[in-house]
Structure 1
């Protein structure tokens, strides 16, 4: 293995670069954004045990310790409530559950970029690649520059240009769901909301194919906040909902939750409109296995998933660790890529399927399915092993 070009300096791409640099493999990362501070919008990243193990494998010990010192710990409980805040169940992973973390995006990028100053090139917008006569891959960028590598890794997100060229048949589709998301400052949450909403993540199981996810994010490098996400089938929204401003979106959610608990309505009312936006939920369609070459894909570039269960970033980290292991000391590049892609497809698209099932359940309009789900949750309150199973499957 002589050289690797990674397209995209997101979580997965940088994690892979860290591991390859440590292994002594020549690596370069090309990122279309102009600086490390760009594209850090969104919410804190939940790092589950799978993602944490991958980070620990790929990072040098000082960087891993820096992550541990700066990440928040997520309480090992997850609640299910009705829209009137009646408790259906609180599940947990038991006393031996592995730790989950909450990572502010800027902090995570800072840790993943440390030591890679000569590796990452910003303002490098990938356009396409070509094969060279000797079998290598030449990447072309919008500014006219080129770069040649033995292996190209597309880590350029859900709208990946690498995937579009390499696997043009691989699709992303709407799942029929729109989520309106906002965040409330913790100071306001402490004044307005009961302890159950401020202390742990919760899923609000509401009638008529609607639901809400509420999760606190403790202070870190940024101010702490409580994130909420209201979800429903896209047919329940007016046309053009994604283009509405935050104030109009908050009004829309308030109008559909008139019968909900006053605390939830206060949370929506007091949310700063500038933090509210609407997102059409999409998911990857698993393509048939493809023959391994010296181009491959990682994370959302190949298996993007719904935000339900919050595992997208963790699967990108998992991919990075899998690929780094295969490439380190590999005698044959295509064999290493083939082994990586087999494991990546298995793990990644299993997560895609689980996330899709969760999304469909979240907005299911079947009264029977919702009643059955509530029955299972209530049963879990008196059957400890079931609580642990549900925590693993749903959280």
Structure 2
């Protein structure tokens, strides 16, 4: 029997724990937050088809059904605009999802975490400090309060500043991209809907000016969806899931120079609707950030300690790939650990996970970083060329399908089936 310890109770770590519990693998999660509701900050998560299919693999069916019932719908595709809201290209949702019924989902971090915590063995207030390998092949996790836990495998799912990574891969670093971000939430009400353009209020939107800036927006209607699920009596949906959840339009602005005086002065020549979106946002919801990304990591000798999500492949928020890649990790690693639970060699299984994870994980890191640089390019010629290319995609459907069609592949495809060992 394989016992798994997970350091970190974020999206990836909890999804992995749910998958292992579903497969009958003993698992414990250790989370530094003192309580389940300490994780209330942050914006909604866009779960794309990659993440959605991985999450579906991880969750028992009732949890998946509750997730779908409470998640908002990102809307009718992705639209690129100029800063005057002239449409450059619209990419239909069906093209982005490959027509998959799983589609795309916009989910509150709060609601998702509450669902992921269902029936798990989670120890709160346990800050990971270090690990040690034991003579019998097990691994011990040490925590700052002096407590310990022993398991067969330790998974570092403890985020971008991972302490597990610091011990396992001390040379693995995060680097500053020199891109600055500002994000805020505009309440999504009947009044705001009345003046928001259809493409903006009904989907994802990217604004590409010709200077070193770009602007993104997305709707989140999770409160309405959750209220509807509650009224319908959906299993696992309760009143608490409405706490601290509101419907809003998320906007994010990024630039190569510091927006020290806020976003408004930098967009004073943009379309009045874009200026209004920023002006009518509650300042308490506005947050600034510097975009960081993981430096490339080469394969390392496999041990009973491995990493998941931001702990190994942290990326910029551009393209929304971080949480989705962590969910892919969770589904793949759960498959491998379930095979170990049924008799497969542990280190071989972890090595295969690490090989695959590093390949797609750092492909996502590179994609996110490159788009951040392209969207904030200070070269006006390059930005105009990008806008011309988008117009060309709009005019030539095969180009659009090739550029924006879903290319997801199942990361567990081709792996041996999970079966009980022969006796």
Report the TM range for the smaller structure's normalisation. over 0.9
1:373 to 386, 397, 400: 386
1:115 to 116, 119, 127: 119
3-state secondary structure, aligned to 1:74: coil
Question: If the length of structure 2 is used for normalisation, what is the TM-score?
Answer: 0.87
Aligned residue for 1:124? 126
3-state secondary structure, aligned to 1:124: coil
CA deviation after TM superposition for structure 1 residue 75, in Å: 2.1
Aligned residue for 1:297? 307
CA deviation after TM superposition for structure 1 residue 42, in Å: 1.0
* CA distance in 2 between partners of 1:393 and 1:366 (Å): 29
- List structure 1 runs of 4+ shifted beyond 6 angstroms: none
Equivalent positions of 1:380-391 (< 5 A) are 380-391=393-404
Aligned residue for 2:329? 319
2:278 maps to 1:268: yes
Aligned residues of 1:128 and 1:140 also touching (Cα < 8 A): yes
Equivalent positions of 1:91-102 (< 5 A) are 91-92=91-92, 94=94, 96-98=98-100, 99-102=103-106
Equivalent positions of 1:1-395 (< 5 A) are 1-92=1-92, 94=94, 96-98=98-100, 99-116=103-120, 119-187=121-189, 188-220=191-223, 221=242, 222-233=245-256, 236-237=257-258, 241=260, 252-330=262-340, 331-392=344-405
* CA distance in 1 between partners of 2:124 and 2:374 (Å): 40
3-state secondary structure, aligned to 1:181: strand
* CA distance in 2 between partners of 1:43 and 1:88 (Å): 27
Aligned residues of 1:94 and 1:388 also touching (Cα < 8 A): no
1:73-125 CA distances to partner (integer Å, 9 max, x unpaired)? 22241111111111111112546433101111121112111111xx1100001
Structure 1 residues 184, 394: CA separation in 2 closer, same or farther (over 3 Å shift)? farther
CA deviation after TM superposition for structure 1 residue 2, in Å: 2.2
1:314-362 CA distances to partner (integer Å, 9 max, x unpaired)? 1111001101111113221100100100110011111111111110011
* CA distance in 1 between partners of 2:39 and 2:378 (Å): 35
1:221-266 CA distances to partner (integer Å, 9 max, x unpaired)? 4221011111100xx226xx5xxxxxxxxx5211111111111111
Structure 1 residues 225, 394: CA separation in 2 closer, same or farther (over 3 Å shift)? farther
3-state secondary structure, aligned to 1:57: helix
Q: Extract unaligned runs of 5+ from structure 2.
A: 224-241, 409-423
Size of the aligned set, in residue pairs, is 380
Structure 1 residues 25, 13: CA separation in 2 closer, same or farther (over 3 Å shift)? same
Question: If the length of structure 1 is used for normalisation, what is the TM-score?
Answer: 0.93
3-state secondary structure, aligned to 2:37: coil
Aligned residues of 2:212 and 2:255 also touching (Cα < 8 A): yes
CA deviation after TM superposition for structure 1 residue 36, in Å: 1.2
Q: Which moved more, 1:280-289 or 1:324-333?
A: 324-333
Aligned residues of 2:20 and 2:27 also touching (Cα < 8 A): yes
CA deviation after TM superposition for structure 1 residue 21, in Å: 1.3
Q: Extract unaligned runs of 5+ from structure 1.
A: 242-250
Aligned residues of 2:184 and 2:252 also touching (Cα < 8 A): yes
Aligned residues of 1:93 and 1:391 also touching (Cα < 8 A): no
Q: Which moved more, 1:20-29 or 1:383-392?
A: 383-392
* CA distance in 1 between partners of 2:77 and 2:338 (Å): 38
* CA distance in 2 between partners of 1:22 and 1:199 (Å): 36
* CA distance in 2 between partners of 1:393 and 1:207 (Å): 28
Aligned residues of 1:4 and 1:27 also touching (Cα < 8 A): yes
Aligned residues of 2:75 and 2:219 also touching (Cα < 8 A): no
RMSD: 1.7
* CA distance in 2 between partners of 1:219 and 1:20 (Å): 28
